[in-house]
């Protein structure tokens, strides 16, 4: 079975990214598990508040929020890995990797939207009862 993907079109006339479409693709199971383990270790090491007795969906949402509490040096590689899940949908329907030094993403808000979508794609199984 192919990796799950989700198209995210920016529909905000005030945004420089208006009309651009990005494709979020899930990591492999191994990569996602390793990423999640490192995020959890970093969050717990930062003493971020996560109720480990909460339902898994709430823990996942708290985990995303807690990313903002991490030491920037520990957070950067994790955040960079998230963006490797994002590609650009071209007008001809094909996709290509993002080019960081271009105007592929011109708004911080777009980056936040894309990160939320990457996170959601990897933890959506928690919504249905999870593990």
Residue 66 falls within a domain, yes or no?
yes
| Overall pTM surpassing 0.75 (yes/no) | yes
Residue 25 falls within a domain, yes or no?
yes
**pLDDT reported for residue 14:** 97
Phi, psi of 22 (to 5 degrees): -115, 150
Q: Say how many domains are in the chain.
A: 1
Residue 131 falls within a domain, yes or no?
no
Residue 94 falls within a domain, yes or no?
yes
For residue 125 the two structure tokens come to 């199984």
Residue 90 falls within a domain, yes or no?
yes
Residue 65 falls within a domain, yes or no?
yes
Residue 64 falls within a domain, yes or no?
yes
Domain that holds residue 112: 5-126
pLDDT tens string, the chain, 131 residues long: the values are 789 999 999 999 999 999 999 999 999 999 998 988 888 888 777 777 777 677 766 776 777 777 777 888 888 999 899 999 999 999 999 999 998 778 899 999 999 999 989 988 887 765 555 44
**pLDDT reported for residue 83:** 94
């Amino acid at each position: 079975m192919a990796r799950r993907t989700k198209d995210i079109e920016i529909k905000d006339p005030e945004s420089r990214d208006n009309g651009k479409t990005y494709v979020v693709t899930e990591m492999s199971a191994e990569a996602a598990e390793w990423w999640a383990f490192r995020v959890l270790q970093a969050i717990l090491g930062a003493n971020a508040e996560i109720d480990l007795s909460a339902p898994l969906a709430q823990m996942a949402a708290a985990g995303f929020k807690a990313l903002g509490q991490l030491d920037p040096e520990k957070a950067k590689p994790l955040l960079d890995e998230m963006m490797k899940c994002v590609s650009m949908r071209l007008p001809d329907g094909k996709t290509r990797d993002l080019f960081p030094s271009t105007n592929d993403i011109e708004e911080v808000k777009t980056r936040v939207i894309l990160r939320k979508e990457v996170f959601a794609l990897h933890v959506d199984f928690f919504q249905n009862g999870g593990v």
